Structure 1
Amino acid sequence: MPLSQSFVNISLFQPPAFLMIGIPGMEAVHGWISIPFSSMYMMALTGNCLILQAIRKTPNLHQPMYYFLSMLALTDVGLTLSTLPTTLAVLWFDHRLIGFNACLVQMFFLHFFSVVESSVLLAMSFDRFVAISSPLHYVSVLTDNVIIKMGLAIVARATVSLFPLPFLLKRLNYCPGKILLSHSFCFHADVMKRACADITVNILYGLYVVLSTVGVDSLLIVLSYILILHTVMGLASPKERLRALNTCVSHFLAVLVFYIPVIGVSMIHRFGRHLPHIVHALVAYVYLVVPPVLNPIIYSVKSKPIREAMLRVLRRKGQG
């Protein structure tokens, strides 16, 4: 066999593009479905940008707790922008093609911001633990330099953990023809399963990433709340206990809003293959769209300083 023919036979096939879908079985009403999706994306971007502006323009909010909240809001903006272009392109214009490399880039940033959000929630739980267990040393422990280092460590951890994923997908051989994805965005597990090759390495590395990031974070958050409860139960006054726990309510709700959909997506991808495609799609949308929408609502309702700062920003914009 000629060398050139042998090279062609062993060369990898990478599709020029993937074909995305919106809500399976509801293609005829994608125009109507785009209305709530557009509204949620707008709410997520508006709410989180408003929190960022409120904290930046209010000197009284230049404190560790609100710096971490800024990180959370910035992460939610990034997570929203990761899926907004392709999702609305599918729902508005039925533009379902995404280039292979563009898909890998979207996949990286989608998972990047998910890992960052998990890490930020862990940092916020540490913030609450320090505030409750050592209130007199709170400012001296969580200095500006410490917070900056924590932020850089969060970004570095997510980058190092996820950087190999696109390259692990590029090394695979894909089946010729149009390859249909299960969503209107690129998930690692979804793209990986479209390969006509052994994906054991991809599965193992994907599992390692999940366990070493979101898995470890969730366990440490649970541990932090156990320590917080132990500290709170040691307070003499029931009023002091209630006041201390009240400072954790917003963070606790944000943790639930993020981790419940994460668990749902993980369970469905591994054990829900028999479920209808629409269930997979809806759980994925809840995981990616709902937390960025709800987090600003949670913090604006439960935190009076944030609510008042947001209202001041809105008044200035109205007057301007």
Structure 2
Amino acid sequence: MLIPNGSIFMPAVLTLTGIPGLESVQHWIGIPFCVMYFLTVIGNSLILGIIKYEHSLHKPMYIFLAMLGATNIALSTCILPETLGIFWFHLPEISFAACLLQMWLIHSFQAIESGILLAMALDRYVAICDPLRHVTIFSQQFLTHIAVGVTLRAAILVAPCLVLIKCCLKLYRTTVISHSYCEHMAIVKLATEDVRINKIYGLFVAFSILGFDIIFIILSYVQIFITVFQLSQKEARFKAFNTCIARICVFLQSYLLAFFSFFTHRFGAHIPPYVHILLSNLYLLVPPFLNPIVYGVKTKQIHDHVLKLFSKTILNH
């Protein structure tokens, strides 16, 4: 096989640059990233613990919240250790296999998170628009099927990205990834070969998962709002609307940041590379960090149990 000059055949090791253009201040950027990560782990773990030990919270809306919290922790953990290793300890090298694994995990957990947000929207739709059937529809068995289905959908749809990179891309013009973590398009752009199939499949996965989920989430909330405003009692209307506020906030912060990052990557050629990389990091790190705060403030049951827990802790000391 002829290898063009300067090309590398199936590199064993890749190098992550971190944030191109901000190398001199990366160690400072790592501080807020680290703070966000620890607050993500602590906040989501707190919610997971409360939901696990409070039997009154063993309901679909809280089980979905626990699933979202676990996914948030996993997603942040896939990114931060490697990123902080680059920022603080000058450890930019990663094996090609480990890079592909990180890419698969990150995109899979993103897809799982999106699926859980859709499940949460459908849960609220049935609870408000058809409350008499809610308990029957969202049984324990159905919740298990949703969890398995969301996970399998993510894993199966993202897995071909690994196969296409491994089998179709053999020659690379460089081993340096201008990113702080292994992202699909960042790896594909290293290749010297025709990458159209990889790009097309990447867009297919993004739109088949995120596009599908967003359409049905929006339709669910539109129908919820129509039903809520048709309620005759103000108190019932306020209660129904209030149960959706936290979910809408989480939905908006997750998808708005993702789309903003996506469109700046695709159409923001004049935007400096460090802006792209910062946005890519923030849209993966900010929602997991904010989600427990939003639910802790806006969900009364979670809010009350958090206050009770802190009150007990203070009294014991």
Task: Tell me if 1:90 matches 2:91.
Answer: no
Q: What is the CA-CA distance between 1:241 and the residue it aligns to? A: 1.8
Residue 22 of structure 2 aligns with an amino acid whose one-letter code is M
Which consecutive residues of structure 2, in runs of 5 or more, have no partner in the other structure?
Answer: none
Task: Tell me if 1:54 matches 2:62.
Answer: no
Mapping 1:103-118, distance limit 5 Å? 103-118=99-114
Which consecutive residues of structure 1, in runs of 5 or more, have no partner in the other structure?
Answer: 1-6
SS of the counterpart of 1:247? helix
The question of whether the paired residues in 1 share the 8 Å contact of 2:8 and 2:172 is answered with no
SS of the counterpart of 1:25? coil
Q: What is the CA-CA distance between 1:112 and the residue it aligns to? A: 0.3
Distance in 2 separating the partners of 1:9 and 1:40: 44
1:201 corresponds to which of 197, 201, 211: 197
Can you list the C-alpha shifts for 1:57-76, whole angstroms capped at 9, x where unaligned? 11110111000001100110
Mapping 1:179-258, distance limit 5 Å? 179-258=175-254
Q: What is the CA-CA distance between 1:265 and the residue it aligns to? A: 2.1
2:29 corresponds to which of 29, 33, 36: 33
Q: What is the CA-CA distance between 1:291 and the residue it aligns to? A: 0.5
Task: Tell me if 1:269 matches 2:271.
Answer: no
Q: What is the CA-CA distance between 1:179 and the residue it aligns to? A: 2.2
Residue 105 of structure 2 aligns with an amino acid whose one-letter code is F
Length, aligned pairs only: 313
Residue 216 of structure 1 aligns with an amino acid whose one-letter code is F
Task: Tell me if 1:77 matches 2:73.
Answer: yes
2:147 corresponds to which of 138, 151, 160: 151
SS of the counterpart of 1:194? coil
Distance in 1 separating the partners of 2:274 and 2:185: 17
Change (3 A) 1:218 1:294: same
Q: What is the CA-CA distance between 1:309 and the residue it aligns to? A: 2.2
Residue 299 of structure 1 aligns with an amino acid whose one-letter code is Y
Can you list the C-alpha shifts for 1:149-201, whole angstroms capped at 9, x where unaligned? 1111101110110111111111202325x522122101101111111100111
Q: What is the CA-CA distance between 1:204 and the residue it aligns to? A: 1.1
Distance in 2 separating the partners of 1:83 and 1:120: 20
The question of whether the paired residues in 2 share the 8 Å contact of 1:50 and 1:313 is answered with no
Q: Identity, % of aligned pairs?
A: 39
Distance in 1 separating the partners of 2:306 and 2:152: 31
SS of the counterpart of 2:14? strand
Distance in 1 separating the partners of 2:268 and 2:300: 42
The question of whether the paired residues in 2 share the 8 Å contact of 1:31 and 1:92 is answered with yes
Distance in 1 separating the partners of 2:312 and 2:150: 34
Residue 251 of structure 1 aligns with an amino acid whose one-letter code is R
The question of whether the paired residues in 2 share the 8 Å contact of 1:232 and 1:244 is answered with yes
State the superposition RMSD in angstroms: 1.9
Task: Tell me if 1:124 matches 2:116.
Answer: no
Q: What is the CA-CA distance between 1:145 and the residue it aligns to? A: 0.7
2:302 corresponds to which of 295, 301, 306: 306
Residue 130 of structure 2 aligns with an amino acid whose one-letter code is S
2:172 corresponds to which of 170, 175, 198: 175
Q: Output the TM-score relative to the length of structure 1.
A: 0.93
Structure 2 counterpart of 1:45: 41
Can you list the C-alpha shifts for 1:63-121, whole angstroms capped at 9, x where unaligned? 11000001100110111111011111011111111111110000000000000000000
Q: Output the TM-score relative to the length of structure 2.
A: 0.94
Residue 109 of structure 1 aligns with an amino acid whose one-letter code is L
Distance in 2 separating the partners of 1:316 and 1:208: 50
Residue 61 of structure 1 aligns with an amino acid whose one-letter code is L
* 94-103 vs 133-142, greater mean Cα deviation: 133-142
Distance in 1 separating the partners of 2:175 and 2:24: 21
The question of whether the paired residues in 2 share the 8 Å contact of 1:55 and 1:309 is answered with no
